[in-house]
A and B are shown apart, each in its own frame.
Chain A
């Protein structure tokens, strides 16, 4: 125990513009079960997929047992001593169980160019029996087995050659009680042989019970590691969700009365797989915060209200009874929406700042039925400057701007449109502190001018600091509601999230 086995040094990985792993360094010891936890999208699967050759890392090194490994694919990783049981189905349809187990290693059974299928089946069956999975017939097609049995086959596939490192990526959710026990047996056996098991799971109780040490990732950044002895579910949750420190740029007022006037109400909105019968109301001059874990459905609420959700059921109506069913409906009734997905949804990034700011206001910018380029430029300039956007000019392409300045362009567009109802999804995501403060000040200003804001955010402190009212979502439903108060703590909210 305690002897270094695997060292991940400054692993970096981008998916397009998403920084999935930000120079993550981690160490794993011999003979331990090392849990990797974090929210969805925190980079747990990404780093283990890089380790096992499924993804190619951008930079950084993995050192296994003193040698740097650069697996080209999964089979190569197996030969180097790293194996993985993946989150999704990792077996190939149309092949037999035995063919799946020895995928990429068929050479073992090939002599003089001919594959000895019966030898392969015999060997596979022997392994299956050793693991106690003798109800699975190696010669039969994998399609004859259910999801759980396929996972068992994957366990054999990943471990029969006794890898030095085994990654178990979110496998337990796919397994029933018996399957889990089988998996845990294998994990403990691996540990006993001096290997390291990297265990990825969302079930924190299970994590604490099984692991020797636990590392936490958040948004592609390594947060810290903790020993089993020190771990409690609360501590882990706090590490996973994270907190913003230095919150002196939030609103400072408390106890202001909110108008009774409802500006928009959503009744029983559902979106398959995302939202389940959610109803809410937004009042005039209110900042309504919506929080939760990434996958709780809160991001879909913004789209559903804005008429941008294709499969929405239920109704969204304004105070005067107008129903909002499409984006043009929403925009023409003074609604605005800034998406979390800034580069794909909020902005046409391969277009100029001018066009981006003017797009929703083209009709208003016409003079005598004609739209002049000069009017567009003047308009764009006015609002880009009002937001103090750093740019070389409004002809600059948005793709060249930093995240904060992109967001300023998005906001400039809607301020220019003079929208009364603004939905901001993760308004400060990936934005530095200074621009954050600008955005908060702008929101406070808008609120005072009688505009209503929905702020969807993954940052708990931002919700507590800015919102008049907070809805916390879990699994597509509203799971808790909090009023603005000085005594509101992050733990109150976290409790409703997880």
Chain B
């Protein structure tokens, strides 16, 4: 009796839960947004000039999304990315006066330490990642504001020499390739997905859940340190608002890329790139159409909500770890 009921339920997979639909929908969304803005801007959005501009604005978001992608795969969230980026950027700019490699390392270490704080409170103190990272978002925004009270922190004047397409592109691609290799070919992806889909069962399968979580929070911080370097190269200085709203941009991007907000088995690595591109074309297109900033936020909010409603995995529930 019981098993027949379950079999019937299994046969009727809801349209939105079918793997093929989950794969196609974000791609279709990307295509629709491209088509729509191509039409609305009479092709201006896809001129080589604006594409180059779009690209140069995307590196930071692309890189910092990788870490959050890892965290969200195991069912967590990270809202502290923007503040983390701000503080790391200060370190990068400060150290860039001594040595550029030292600056990168400094940014990575700073991000990693902040990530470790997130991890500590989430894993050891058992506070949900949502709360911990929101607290740290405020805390490190405060640090960032304090350090930039008198004047912005300036990087070394020739830091902008790295701000060219070949360097930035290579930098971003190398990070992506490494992240992809680690995610796909070391078992990390399998482990993170298992934690996201069922933490207890992952533990019983021998995964060191606590250690993995700590490491991932730290790694996400380190990766954001790299994004802070990209940000410093591009802007040359840090003000108190550096990186603000980054966390929401990351979140919207990943969801637009088809990432289930509760993580788990349905996560795909390409969600990052597809999502960031969709988001950048959407927001870039809105700017080009000279839509007022307030209205842009409204539109992005509606799109975000719609996507979340479509993609949240109701089987696993909306449990944020």
Give A residues with C-beta under 8 Å from B. Answer: 19, 22, 306, 308, 327-328, 330-332, 337, 339, 344-352, 355-356, 358-360, 362-363, 365-366, 370-373, 376, 397, 399-400, 402-403, 413, 430, 432
With a CB–CB cut-off of 8 A, which chain A residues contact B206? 327-328, 330-332, 359-360
Min CB gap B93→A, angstroms: 37
How far, in whole Å, are A350 and B205 apart by their CA atoms in the complex? Answer: 14
Min CB gap A406→B, angstroms: 10
Q: Mark B284-321, 1 if CB is under 8 A from A, else 0.
A: 00000000000000000000000000000101100000
With a CB–CB cut-off of 8 A, which chain A residues contact B205? 331, 348, 356, 359-360, 413
Q: Could you say which of A344, A348, A362, A400 contacts B187, with CB atoms under 8 Å apart? A: A362
Q: Is the CB of B198 within 8 A of A344?
A: yes
Q: What 15 new A-B contacts, CB under 8 Å, besides A330-B206, A371-B186, A413-B205?
A: A22-B2, A328-B206, A331-B206, A332-B206, A348-B205, A348-B265, A349-B198, A349-B201, A350-B264, A350-B316, A351-B197, A351-B264, A355-B194, A362-B187, A370-B185
**Which residue of chain B lies nearest to A337 when distances are taken between CB atoms in the complex?**
B204
How far, in whole Å, are A337 and B203 apart by their CA atoms in the complex? Answer: 12
Q: Is the CB of B187 within 8 A of A371?
A: yes
Asked if B10 is at the interface of the complex by the 8 Å CB criterion, the answer is yes
How far, in whole Å, are A345 and B201 apart by their CA atoms in the complex? Answer: 4
With a CB–CB cut-off of 8 A, which chain A residues contact B193? 351, 355
How far, in whole Å, are A414 and B129 apart by their CA atoms in the complex? Answer: 33
26 A/B residue pairs, CB under 8 Å, sorted by A: A22-B1, A328-B206, A337-B204, A344-B201, A345-B201, A346-B204, A348-B202, A349-B198, A351-B194, A351-B264, A355-B190, A355-B193, A358-B190, A359-B191, A359-B205, A359-B207, A363-B187, A366-B186, A370-B185, A371-B184, A373-B184, A376-B190, A399-B315, A400-B10, A403-B3, A430-B2
With most chain B CB atoms within 10 A of its CB, the pick from A22, A359, A372, A402 is A359
Min CB gap A167→B, angstroms: 27
Asked if B161 is at the interface of the complex by the 8 Å CB criterion, the answer is no
**Which residue of chain A lies nearest to B315 when distances are taken between CB atoms in the complex?**
A350
Min CB gap A481→B, angstroms: 28
**Which residue of chain A lies nearest to B205 when distances are taken between CB atoms in the complex?**
A359
With a CB–CB cut-off of 8 A, which chain B residues contact A370? 185-186
Q: Is the CB of A351 within 8 A of B2?
A: no
**Binding site secondary structure of chain A:** mixed
How far, in whole Å, are A350 and B1 apart by their CA atoms in the complex? Answer: 23
Asked if B49 is at the interface of the complex by the 8 Å CB criterion, the answer is no
With a CB–CB cut-off of 8 A, which chain B residues contact A399? 315
**Which residue of chain A lies nearest to B206 when distances are taken between CB atoms in the complex?**
A331
With a CB–CB cut-off of 8 A, which chain B residues contact A366? 186-187
How far, in whole Å, are A238 and B205 apart by their CA atoms in the complex? Answer: 37
Q: Mark B244-272, 1 if CB is under 8 A from A, else 0.
A: 00000000000000000000110000000
Asked if B150 is at the interface of the complex by the 8 Å CB criterion, the answer is no
Min CB gap A218→B, angstroms: 16
Q: Is the CB of A347 within 8 A of B201?
A: yes
With a CB–CB cut-off of 8 A, which chain A residues contact B187? 362-363, 365-366, 371
How far, in whole Å, are A346 and B200 apart by their CA atoms in the complex? Answer: 9
How far, in whole Å, are A22 and B191 apart by their CA atoms in the complex? Answer: 37
**Which residue of chain B lies nearest to A366 when distances are taken between CB atoms in the complex?**
B187
With most chain B CB atoms within 10 A of its CB, the pick from A348, A356, A432 is A348
Interface residues of B in 156-203 (CB under 8 A from A): 184-187, 190-191, 193-194, 197-198, 200-203
Min CB gap A340→B, angstroms: 12
With a CB–CB cut-off of 8 A, which chain A residues contact B201? 344-349
Min CB gap A247→B, angstroms: 22
How far, in whole Å, are A362 and B204 apart by their CA atoms in the complex? Answer: 14
Q: Is the CB of A327 within 8 A of B204?
A: yes
Asked if B6 is at the interface of the complex by the 8 Å CB criterion, the answer is yes
Q: Could you say which of A330, A351, A376 contacts B198, with CB atoms under 8 Å apart? A: A351
Min CB gap B240→A, angstroms: 42
With a CB–CB cut-off of 8 A, which chain B residues contact A331? 205-206
How far, in whole Å, are A328 and B206 apart by their CA atoms in the complex? Answer: 5
Q: Which 6 A-B pairs have the closest CB atoms?
A: A362-B187, A331-B206, A348-B198, A359-B205, A400-B10, A350-B197
Q: Is the CB of A352 within 8 A of B203?
A: no
With a CB–CB cut-off of 8 A, which chain A residues contact B10? 400
Asked if B7 is at the interface of the complex by the 8 Å CB criterion, the answer is yes
Q: Is the CB of B185 within 8 A of A372?
A: yes
How far, in whole Å, are A413 and B316 apart by their CA atoms in the complex? Answer: 23
With a CB–CB cut-off of 8 A, which chain A residues contact B7? 402
Q: Is the CB of A362 within 8 A of B190?
A: yes
With most chain A CB atoms within 10 A of its CB, the pick from B206, B207, B316 is B206
Asked if B126 is at the interface of the complex by the 8 Å CB criterion, the answer is no
